[in-house]
Chains A and B, each alone.
Chain A
Amino acid sequence: MTAAILEIHGLRVENLAGNVLVDNANITLLPGEVLGLIGESGAGKSTIGLAAMGYARGGCKITAGRVVIDGVTIQDLTAEGRAQFRGRRIAYVAQSAAASFNPAHCIMDQICEMPVHHGVRTRAEAEAWAIEMFRTLELPNPETFGARYPHQVSGGQLQRAMAIMAISARPDIVVFDEPTTALDVTTQIEVLVLIKTLIRDYKIAALYITHDLAVVAQIADRIMVLRHGKLVETDSTARILHAPQQQYTKDLVEDRQSSDVFQERSLKSGREVILDASHVSAHYGDFQVLKDVSITVAKGETVAIVGESGSGKTSLARVMVGLTRPTSGSITFLGQALAGELKQRSREDLRKMQLIYQQPDVALNPRQTVGEIIGRPISLYFNRSKQAVRARTLELLAQVGLPADYIDRKSTALSGGQKQRICIARALAAEPSLIICDEPTSALDQLVADEILKLLQKLQDDLGLSYLVITHDLGIVRRIAHRTTVLLSGQVVASGPTGDIFKPPFHPYTEKLLQSVPELRESWLDEVTAKRAK
């Protein structure tokens, strides 16, 4: 039996307030093995990843347990001793390459820093190696790529550069902390392939941290499921996917599978169009973000706008609510022409169209109570008495599934999913006809997101609401949208009933998007790469 390269025994991490972030974590990693750490936010997976490097974020402390790398207990070392391990024996790939590269130095300087500092390579050797890697990973202009600054290259390119940086000092172990979460699906697949290749070619052992079961299934040999800082179960990838033991794991797997399945939804009555945007174009300065976009939403219907970052989907939402003025085209809402400027819209226009934001954390005023937040649109639009507002607020809280005593709480004390429910209640308070949902679940954990989607559907059935859902997540589209419009660089490339969009013949871009969504099969990534290679 080979000796483990990384062992973690009884690890416990606490923050300064004494809350336990990770409790009794045990990990054994063999050379060349990939262990996937999966769980919701707050499950402690990143904390474990960092602790494996003998590092705890500001305000946190490793209070018990041992981290042993290649027979050496990291905690016994001095700060300098630990620094010698970091980067050299165990390296780190962070979630956001854009935030993890220093804006003040060019990429080459940052890649070469580690091997030179640890004495693995000379500067000249490191540069030659890096250029070779740029070429292997098909980065543009490999000779000069390193001279560029982080803000001058795209997110996907930067993420690849960070992977190169991580292995520049030939580490034995790499901690990948959600390395593809910040990327678009089509970019994610490229980076996934690259990571898989690097792990295989350089025989690197890895801790792969993610919240997406389908992603980790492509890469990991074993998967460890975590929740609230505690181990739920750990097993081989195949067994976690096909024969999970614990209920929580079963829920995760089931929920992830359901997003792969298309659920046909049809309108009960005929299509009564309430929002009709035709030939809308918009510019930011000289840059055209929307090119001749037409879209309709009917009563009781959910229309999804799908696209990658930069496709113009958020700009479209901004045009609808009047935050961005269209340069041409017209919008008809409930039978009336809608002014392009927010200031020219009537209060009734504003009331009938509400917005739910991507990040509930920042969409709620932290100084107001839940009652004030939800009550404000009621008193603004309907001019009711204090008691009536309070009664209506309680009614809305019940409608979004929150207990009545939340009315006097501040939103800061609530969880992400609860905050999003408040945002929904606030939108409902205006009694709108249409709610525009801008990535309503992308900031939430998988199971919580699922509940929010169910709530949105229930409210639609009860109240006959229409939704315009802006999203990059095809899983959401498949589950809730009646109709779908696919945007690519500001243009509509496909539009129609969701069932048709997800059935051949596809537009090539739609097909690429569909293929790029990770599926819950271990062989998915290899199949897609094989298909693309053809």
Chain B
Amino acid sequence: MLRLIITRVFLGCLTLLVVTLLIFVATEILPGDVASAVLGQGATPDTLAAFRIELGLDRPAYVRYLEWLTNALQGDLGVAMTNKRDVIETLTPRLSNTLFLAGYAAAIAVPMAIVLGVLSAINEGKFIDRAANVLTLGAISVPEFFIAYILILVFATNLGWFPSLSTVYADMGLWDKIYVVALPAVTLTLLVMAHMLRMTRASVLAIMSQPYIEMAFLKGLPRRRVILRHALPNAAAPIISVVALNLAYLIVGVVVIEVVFVYPGVGQYMVDGVTKRDLPVIQACALVFGGAFVLLNTLADVLAILVNPRLRHPR
């Protein structure tokens, strides 16, 4: 089993390496040019060339890639081209904001999705099952910004319960933060709930047709206990992987939400970077997103190995 886990972790690292390569290649073929973007329309070819040399853009791509990679491994993601500020320094507080929002949404979405998923499975075909189904499917069927604006319209503009802009400061208290970020967190929750809920429901129901579940009923156990103790542990692996996928989405997919709520997270930073053709910023953000994705999925794989009794207790 240890070998399996080590393989997974190794594969995770390998994936991350491929991700860095892809990020670099992608930013290379990004249309536009930072020099002309910064210096504007009036720049002469001479000044453009000089500026490119100053930024190091004249050297071959693979040299710049290796340099970027070794620096990144040492925790140096370079300096923003546009405002000369250290990327890590700008990124860190924004990353913690993004993680706060993702964690906030996850804290609501994951338990709710699993509990509702199990409840739907217990009451298959009954009202609660259908209601959960319709509501969550409805939520993912509309674009995320639409949900965001609806929530703003109802809870910020009409009812005035929450602020429409989620501006947070470094020295803000936790409860203030929770209050201010409530609307984006709820939006994200609505976005990821459906997938997790339906997967939980489907996995539990698939297990419910197993002979050992019939056996559990014939042992005289109540339905609750059969589902919680006999079905859920066996449905864990697919649930874990879909939860990980959605957690990754919470971190990666927040770009639009952050922009709508003007929330100072990594997503907004990346959008700024893209509009200004600021390569180090784009690369750093992409690396953070890619890293989060790989990390969570590797974690899910390892957990899925750990919950498998056949692997945990070999013959």
Binding site for B on A (CB under 8 A): 50, 53, 55, 57-58, 79-80, 83-88, 91-92, 94, 96, 99-105, 113-114, 117-118, 148-149, 151-152, 165
Q: Are A92 and B215 in contact (CB under 8 A)?
A: yes
Q: Are A83 and B220 in contact (CB under 8 A)?
A: yes
Minimum CB distance partner of A87 in chain B: B220
- With a CB–CB cut-off of 8 A, which chain B residues contact A96? 211
Assess whether B217 is interfacial by the CB under 8 Å rule. Answer: yes
Q: Are A151 and B218 in contact (CB under 8 A)?
A: no
Assess whether B84 is interfacial by the CB under 8 Å rule. Answer: no
Q: Interface segment, B60-68, B88-96, B307-315?
A: B307-315
- With a CB–CB cut-off of 8 A, which chain A residues contact B218? 50, 53, 55, 86-87, 91-92
Q: Are B217 and A99 in contact (CB under 8 A)?
A: no
Q: Are B209 and A58 in contact (CB under 8 A)?
A: yes
**Given A102-B233, A151-B313, 8 more pairs with CB closer than 8 A:** A83-B221, A86-B217, A86-B218, A92-B215, A92-B218, A92-B219, A105-B230, A117-B221
Instruction: Indicate with 1 or 0, residue by residue over B294-315, a CB within 8 angstroms of chain A CB atoms.
Output: 0000000000000001100101
Assess whether B146 is interfacial by the CB under 8 Å rule. Answer: no
Q: Which 8 A-B pairs have the closest CB atoms?
A: A87-B220, A86-B220, A104-B233, A99-B211, A92-B218, A87-B219, A100-B215, A102-B212
Q: A57-B214, A94-B211 are in contact. Are A113 and B309 (CB under 8 A)?
A: no
Q: Are A117 and B219 in contact (CB under 8 A)?
A: yes
Minimum CB distance partner of A92 in chain B: B218
Minimum CB distance partner of B232 in chain A: A104
Minimum CB distance partner of B236 in chain A: A104
A61 to nearest B CB, angstroms?
15
Q: Are A114 and B220 in contact (CB under 8 A)?
A: yes
B129 to nearest A CB, angstroms?
16
Binding site for A on B (CB under 8 A): 209-212, 214-223, 225, 229-230, 233-234, 309-310, 313, 315
Q: A100-B211, A102-B212 are in contact. Are A84 and B315 (CB under 8 A)?
A: no
Interface of B is mostly: helix
Q: Are A113 and B221 in contact (CB under 8 A)?
A: yes
A-B contacts, 12 of them at CB < 8 A, read A55-B218, A80-B222, A87-B219, A88-B220, A94-B211, A96-B211, A100-B215, A102-B230, A103-B234, A105-B233, A114-B221, A165-B219
Minimum CB distance partner of A101 in chain B: B212
Which of B211, B215, B230: most chain A Cβ within 10 A? B215
Minimum CB distance partner of B218 in chain A: A92
Which of B216, B233, B309: most chain A Cβ within 10 A? B309
Provide the bound-state CA to CA distance between A91 and B225, in Å: 18
One of A55, A88, A94, A104 near B234 (C-beta < 8 A): A104
Q: A99-B210, A102-B234 are in contact. Are A151 and B219 (CB under 8 A)?
A: no
- With a CB–CB cut-off of 8 A, which chain A residues contact B313? 148-149, 151-152
B122 to nearest A CB, angstroms?
13
- With a CB–CB cut-off of 8 A, which chain B residues contact A118? 220
Q: Are A151 and B310 in contact (CB under 8 A)?
A: yes
Q: A104-B233, A152-B313, A152-B315 are in contact. Are A94 and B215 (CB under 8 A)?
A: yes
Provide the bound-state CA to CA distance between A152 and B234, in Å: 17
Q: A99-B211, A102-B230 are in contact. Are A55 and B217 (CB under 8 A)?
A: yes
Provide the bound-state CA to CA distance between A35 and B93, in Å: 75
- With a CB–CB cut-off of 8 A, which chain B residues contact A104? 230, 233-234, 309
B166 to nearest A CB, angstroms?
42
Q: Are A103 and B222 in contact (CB under 8 A)?
A: no
Q: A94-B211, A96-B211 are in contact. Are A103 and B217 (CB under 8 A)?
A: no
Minimum CB distance partner of B234 in chain A: A104
Q: Are A100 and B212 in contact (CB under 8 A)?
A: yes
B223 to nearest A CB, angstroms?
8
B314 to nearest A CB, angstroms?
8
Q: A100-B215, A101-B212, A102-B234 are in contact. Are A83 and B222 (CB under 8 A)?
A: yes
Provide the bound-state CA to CA distance between A152 and B315, in Å: 5
Minimum CB distance partner of A118 in chain B: B220
One of A85, A102, A149 near B216 (C-beta < 8 A): A102
- With a CB–CB cut-off of 8 A, which chain A residues contact B230? 102, 104-105
One of B216, B220, B223 near A84 (C-beta < 8 A): B220
A119 to nearest B CB, angstroms?
11
- With a CB–CB cut-off of 8 A, which chain A residues contact B315? 151-152
- With a CB–CB cut-off of 8 A, which chain B residues contact A165? 219
Which of A104, A117, A148: most chain B Cβ within 10 A? A104
Minimum CB distance partner of A86 in chain B: B220
A59 to nearest B CB, angstroms?
10
Minimum CB distance partner of B208 in chain A: A58
Q: Are A114 and B219 in contact (CB under 8 A)?
A: yes
B214 to nearest A CB, angstroms?
7
Q: Are B220 and A103 in contact (CB under 8 A)?
A: no
Which of A50, A101, A103: most chain B Cβ within 10 A? A103
- With a CB–CB cut-off of 8 A, which chain A residues contact B309? 103-105, 149, 151
Which of B214, B223, B229: most chain A Cβ within 10 A? B214
A77 to nearest B CB, angstroms?
12
Provide the bound-state CA to CA distance between A456 and B230, in Å: 46
Q: Are A85 and B220 in contact (CB under 8 A)?
A: yes
- With a CB–CB cut-off of 8 A, which chain B residues contact A79? 223
- With a CB–CB cut-off of 8 A, which chain A residues contact B211? 94, 96, 99-100
- With a CB–CB cut-off of 8 A, which chain A residues contact B215? 92, 94, 100-102
Provide the bound-state CA to CA distance between A83 and B225, in Å: 12
Q: Are B209 and A103 in contact (CB under 8 A)?
A: no
- With a CB–CB cut-off of 8 A, which chain A residues contact B221? 83, 87, 113-114, 117
A25 to nearest B CB, angstroms?
19
- With a CB–CB cut-off of 8 A, which chain A residues contact B234? 102-104
Provide the bound-state CA to CA distance between A151 and B212, in Å: 13
Provide the bound-state CA to CA distance between A149 and B312, in Å: 10
Provide the bound-state CA to CA distance between A152 and B211, in Å: 18
B177 to nearest A CB, angstroms?
39
Q: Are A117 and B220 in contact (CB under 8 A)?
A: yes
Provide the bound-state CA to CA distance between A151 and B214, in Å: 19
Provide the bound-state CA to CA distance between A151 and B223, in Å: 25
- With a CB–CB cut-off of 8 A, which chain B residues contact A84? 220
A524 to nearest B CB, angstroms?
30
- With a CB–CB cut-off of 8 A, which chain A residues contact B210? 99
Provide the bound-state CA to CA distance between A58 and B223, in Å: 14
B234 to nearest A CB, angstroms?
5
Minimum CB distance partner of B222 in chain A: A83
- With a CB–CB cut-off of 8 A, which chain B residues contact A55? 217-218
Provide the bound-state CA to CA distance between A368 and B285, in Å: 53
Which of A50, A102, A113, A165: most chain B Cβ within 10 A? A102
A60 to nearest B CB, angstroms?
12
- With a CB–CB cut-off of 8 A, which chain A residues contact B220? 83-88, 114, 117-118
- With a CB–CB cut-off of 8 A, which chain A residues contact B216? 102
- With a CB–CB cut-off of 8 A, which chain A residues contact B209? 58
Provide the bound-state CA to CA distance between A55 and B216, in Å: 12
- With a CB–CB cut-off of 8 A, which chain A residues contact B217? 55, 83, 86
Provide the bound-state CA to CA distance between A339 and B297, in Å: 45
Provide the bound-state CA to CA distance between A118 and B225, in Å: 13
